[in-house]
Amino acid sequence: MGIAAIALGSNLGERRETLRSAVHALSGLGHVAAVSSLYETEPIGGPDQGPYLNAVLVLETELDPHRLLAHLHAIEAAHGRERRTRWEARTLDLDLILYDDVVIEGEGVTVPHPRASERRFVLEPLVEVMPDAAFPDGTKATDALAQVLDQGLERHGHDNWWRHGFASRGGWWVVGQVVGIGAWVVAAILDRARFAGPASATIGVVLFLAGATLAWIALRSLGRNLTPYPEPMRSSGLVQTGIYARARHPIYGSVLLLVAGASLLAGSALALVFTAGLAAFFWRKAASEEERLMARYPDYPAYRSEVRWRLIPWVL
């Protein structure tokens, strides 16, 4: 049984979905012991092209390095990889970084990968999943990483990005959202320390109507892209028009305006406290969602820098 470290990369098409599919394919070659976070980096060398998503997978396998590399090439081809120009853009790149302490040169196989110790986008995910990794010449991956920290890289740190299912889509954020709104409803109903006044009622009406209007506009802009999960749907595109040209997560902002307005109309101080809690929750959920959006859409960082407001246009 050999232990192989395999680097995955993609900068064409649905990059995250491609890497997820590659992990599934690699699982058929042995036991996947660990998968790193996703890392985004600008391409090094080659023609002009978009940023890469990278990761490292640790595979326990019965295949020898030559047979394993042949399978890696087959998986690349199955995902539309075409080898025409060196360092060109690619749908999927699978590199055999390490295989135990084996050193192989020739016959189309070079292990360890000749440039692995010079690339931060390889070393950082490698150290994440194999902290004690070392190259056959004795160089520790951590020491090599310390020499290339000037190379740009952005980590997308959400867990289990390669899995399909409730948790991988951010399902627990949805559960937390339902529980938080439910707790707010209970607080608004049971709070006995009521306050009332024309000023608070007027502000409550304004906030509630603003929330309803913002929700209506945002839902129209999203259309079929709407999902309660932080993970975007496979068929969805990046919405940057309409209200989304002013705020990145206006639906979350609309919910906050609605509950804040309803709290004032109900005269419930406790409900206002829970509203503040919901604001903190949606702020963090939006941040988690943006990690996933950056992993899915290469142009999301530019969109995020252009659209300043996260939840409510010109406010929050």
CATH code for position 105 = 3.30.70.560
Q: Taking the CB of residue 289, how many other CB atoms lie within 10 A of it?
A: 21
Q: Is 30 part of any domain? A: yes
Top-ranked range on mean pLDDT: pick from 71-85, 110-124, 219-233, 237-251 = 237-251
Q: What is the mean pLDDT of residues 77-100?
A: 78
pLDDT band at 4 (very low <50, low <70, confident <90, very high): very high
Q: What is the mean pLDDT of residues 8-37?
A: 91
Domain boundary (156, 189, 224) is at 156
- Could you list the active site residues? 81, 90, 93, 95
- Give the pLDDT confidence score for residue 45 in this predicted structure: 62
Q: Look up the domain containing 49 and give its range.
A: 2-156
The whole model's pTM is what?
0.71
Q: Which two tokens stand for residue 189?
A: 């109903």
Q: Are residues 117 and 208 in the same domain?
A: no
Distance (Å, whole) CA 13 – CA 32: 25
Residue 137 has pLDDT above 70, yes or no: yes
Q: What is the mean pLDDT of the chain?
A: 90
Q: Are residues 106 and 26 in the same domain?
A: yes
Q: Are residues 175 and 152 in the same domain?
A: no
Phi, psi of 127 (to 5 degrees): -65, -30
Q: Are residues 88 and 54 in the same domain?
A: yes
Q: Are residues 75 and 211 in the same domain?
A: no
Residue 85 has pLDDT above 60, yes or no: no
Q: What is the mean pLDDT of residues 204-211?
A: 98
32 vs 192 pLDDT, higher one: 32
Domain boundary (156, 179, 209) is at 156
Residues 147-185: tens digit of each pLDDT: 999 998 999 876 678 887 888 788 999 999 999 999 999
Q: Is 312 part of any domain? A: no
Can you tell me which residue has the tokens 């979905």?
A: 17
Half-sphere exposure of 142 (CA within 13 A, CB side): 6
- Give the pLDDT confidence score for residue 81 in this predicted structure: 67
pLDDT band at 97 (very low <50, low <70, confident <90, very high): very high
Distance (Å, whole) CA 107 – CA 45: 25
Q: Are residues 125 and 179 in the same domain?
A: no
Residue 37 has pLDDT above 90, yes or no: yes
pLDDT band at 107 (very low <50, low <70, confident <90, very high): low
- Give the pLDDT confidence score for residue 240 in this predicted structure: 95
pLDDT band at 86 (very low <50, low <70, confident <90, very high): low
Q: Are residues 149 and 180 in the same domain?
A: no
- Give the pLDDT confidence score for residue 165 in this predicted structure: 81
- Give the pLDDT confidence score for residue 88 in this predicted structure: 57
Domain boundary (156, 189, 211) is at 156
- Give the pLDDT confidence score for residue 32 in this predicted structure: 93
Q: Are residues 89 and 177 in the same domain?
A: no
Q: Are residues 147 and 15 in the same domain?
A: yes
- Give the pLDDT confidence score for residue 221 in this predicted structure: 94
pLDDT band at 297 (very low <50, low <70, confident <90, very high): confident
Q: Are residues 107 and 228 in the same domain?
A: no
Q: Is 163 part of any domain? A: no
CATH number, residue 285? 1.20.120.1630
Tally of domains within the chain: 2
Q: What is the mean pLDDT of residues 102-119?
A: 80
Q: Are residues 110 and 188 in the same domain?
A: no
- Give the pLDDT confidence score for residue 47 in this predicted structure: 62
Distance (Å, whole) CA 232 – CA 227: 7
Q: Are residues 151 and 177 in the same domain?
A: no
Q: Is 17 part of any domain? A: yes
Q: Is 134 part of any domain? A: yes
Q: Which two tokens stand for residue 173?
A: 């954020």
Give the strand pairing for 31-35 and 154-156. unpaired
Q: Is 196 part of any domain? A: yes
Distance (Å, whole) CA 28 – CA 262: 53
Q: Is 313 part of any domain? A: no
Residues 244-268: tens digit of each pLDDT: 999 999 999 999 999 999 999 999 9
**Which residues 6+ apart lie within 8 Å of 45 measured at CB?**
86, 87
158 vs 209 pLDDT, higher one: 209
- Give the pLDDT confidence score for residue 7 in this predicted structure: 95
- Give the pLDDT confidence score for residue 79 in this predicted structure: 82
Q: Is 315 part of any domain? A: no
Q: How is residue 192 annotated by DSSP?
A: -
